[in-house]
């Protein structure tokens, strides 16, 4: 062994260094130890001086005990599945922080007795959709559909249009989800067109329910069509409508996107939706519908396996009652403001010697809904090679590569992040 190697301090000595005490307290000994071992390895390779091991550890320590890092979403995709879908509002994040400890999620502080779990979130959801007789919340929309199949069509048929056999993403398919619950699919119609009579002819003693699934991540145009919800609600069996995106009421900017209130008014027995798409809240599955039916969904044994935790309930309630969440703000952002911000950012970058230019852009709602809808936007355009450098930055910035340029689309960037975004770009320069 060389002298330099012999001089590398032992792991327990490094861990006992007082400069690392705050990190051990905040991150835990085992996580800090892993960083120490890596720093010692670098010292063995001659990349770090033996006396510099503690400094190397300090430089390499993560900010938190989780590997998930906050990212600036400059893709222009508002509900970006790979970036965690909807970012929580500050109100929702604060509610989550409050609920992390002991909390009265299932306890009545007045009587000292057990209370209905998550009643605040459920009351807020019911108030947001008066057309629903009752509401329930599960882990995600897939769980909501699974529960519908288990309760309404165990060993029986679900009537569904061939145009609505949707793959959600990552290889998961709604038809497979439903058959995994023990239901059989009765496919009707064709890819592009399904008529009311197709449904009517398929309904019989084996039918559990008719299911409508919103084709949320693709669009069939041209010679295409399916019946209205109202036509399907009158067929004598329950109609379940998966609206996907989680809009509770019609959205003025997204006129073609289905919503829970309209589906219920048209006669749907149950509507299912995601909490973390256009609603802008935590991952959750919303079930809204006739009171008796929602009661059966809530009492099915599998409901316990699909239930949400207190953090989700806290975030959902604050999303529903609090100020508009980031998704709503991004959708509503005025394009003139976005242009002004892009011009300002590009100007500052050019002044610092960066090859940047403000350009018009087209943002998108994302896999969460409204396929084909373009949201007019504004971006700062950089040479393509910036894309990977920005992703490696602190904080990481994810842009959109388009026609050989890296676009930083400001529709999905909170105005409060304009400064951090600019600094992140300048650090890469």
Q: In the complex, which residue's CB is closest to ligand PLP?
A: 244
Considering only 73, 161, 207, 216, the residue that binds ligand PLP (CB under 6 A) is: 216
- Is 274 a binding residue for ligand PLP by CB under 6 A? The answer is yes
Strands 285-289 and 270-274: antiparallel
- Is 141 a binding residue for ligand PLP by CB under 6 A? The answer is yes
- Is 229 a binding residue for ligand PLP by CB under 6 A? The answer is no
- DSSP state at residue 40: H
- Is 214 a binding residue for ligand PLP by CB under 6 A? The answer is yes
Q: Report 243-262 residues binding ligand PLP (CB under 6 A).
A: 244
Nearest to 22 by CA among 53, 52, 66, 57: 57
Report whether 274 contacts 145 (CB < 8 A): no
For ligand PLP, give the closer residue by CB, 143 or 328.
143
Residues 58-87, one symbol each (x = binds ligand PLP by CB under 6 A, - = not), give ------------------------------
For ligand PLP, give the closer residue by CB, 91 or 177.
177
Hey, which residues does 397 pair with through a beta bridge?
72
Question: Cis omega before residue 395 (within 30°)?
Answer: yes
For ligand PLP, give the closer residue by CB, 216 or 377.
216
Query: What is residue 170's three-state secondary structure?
Result: coil
Distance separating alpha carbons of residues 412 and 75, to the nearest angstrom: 7
Alpha-carbon dihedral 267, 272, 278, 280, rounded to 10 degrees: 130
- Is 183 a binding residue for ligand PLP by CB under 6 A? The answer is no
For ligand PLP, give the closer residue by CB, 142 or 354.
142
Q: Report 277-336 residues binding ligand PLP (CB under 6 A).
A: 285
Report whether 162 contacts 188 (CB < 8 A): yes
Q: Which two tokens stand for residue 66?
A: 């989780």
For ligand PLP, give the closer residue by CB, 11 or 179.
179
Q: Helix %, strand %, coil % for the chain, to 5?
A: 45, 20, 40
Residues that contact ligand PLP, how many (by CB under 6 A): 11
Q: Which stretch binds ligand PLP (CB under 6 A): 209-217, 298-306, 358-366, 387-395?
A: 209-217
**Residue ranges binding ligand PLP (CB under 6 A):** 140-142, 168, 213-214, 216, 242, 244, 274, 285
């Amino acid at each position: 062994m060389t002298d330099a190697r012999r001089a590398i301090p032992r792991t327990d000595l490094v861990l006992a260094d007082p400069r690392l005490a705050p990190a051990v307290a905040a991150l835990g000994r085992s996580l800090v130890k892993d960083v120490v071992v890596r720093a010692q390895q670098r010292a063995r390779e001659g990349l770090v001086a033996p006396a510099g091991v503690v400094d190397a550890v300090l430089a390499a320590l993560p900010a938190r005990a989780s590997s998930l890092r906050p990212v600036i979403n400059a893709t222009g995709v508002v509900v970006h599945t790979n970036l965690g879908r909807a970012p929580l509002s500050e109100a929702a994040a604060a509610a989550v922080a409050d609920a992390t400890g002991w909390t009265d999620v299932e306890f009545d502080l007045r009587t000292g007795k057990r209370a209905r779990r998550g009643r605040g979130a459920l009351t807020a959801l019911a108030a947001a959709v008066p057309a629903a007789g009752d509401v329930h919340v599960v882990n995600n929309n897939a769980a909501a559909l699974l529960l519908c199949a288990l309760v309404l069509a165990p060993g029986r048929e679900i009537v569904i249009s061939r145009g609505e056999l949707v793959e959600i993403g990552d290889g998961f398919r709604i038809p497979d989800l439903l058959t995994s619950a023990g239901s059989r699919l009765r496919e009707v119609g064709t890819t592009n067109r399904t008529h009311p009579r197709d449904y009517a002819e398929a309904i019989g003693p084996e039918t559990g329910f008719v299911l409508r699934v919103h084709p949320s991540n693709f669009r069939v145009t041209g010679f295409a069509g399916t019946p209205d919800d109202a036509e399907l609600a009158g067929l004598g069996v329950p109609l379940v409508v998966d609206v996907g995106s989680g809009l509770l009421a019609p959205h003025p900017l997204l006129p073609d996107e289905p919503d829970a209130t309209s589906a219920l008014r048209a006669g749907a027995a149950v509507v299912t939706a995601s909490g973390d798409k256009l609603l802008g809240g935590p991952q959750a599955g919303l079930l809204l519908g006739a009171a008796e039916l929602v009661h059966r969904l809530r009492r099915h044994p599998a409901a316990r396996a699909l239930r949400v935790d207190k953090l989700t309930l806290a975030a959902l309630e604050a999303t529903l009652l609090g100020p508009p969440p980031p998704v709503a703000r991004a959708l509503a952002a005025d394009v003139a403001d976005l242009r002004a911000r892009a011009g300002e950012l590009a100007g500052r970058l050019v002044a610092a010697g960066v090859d940047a230019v403000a350009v018009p852009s087209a943002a998108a709602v994302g896999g969460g809904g409204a396929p084909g809808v373009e949201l007019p936007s504004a971006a700062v355009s950089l040479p393509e090679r910036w894309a990977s450098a920005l992703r490696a930055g602190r904080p990481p910035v994810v842009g959109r590569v388009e026609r050989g340029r890296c676009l930083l689309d400001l529709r999905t960037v909170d105005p409060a992040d304009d400064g951090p975004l600019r600094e992140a770009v300048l650090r890469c320069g």
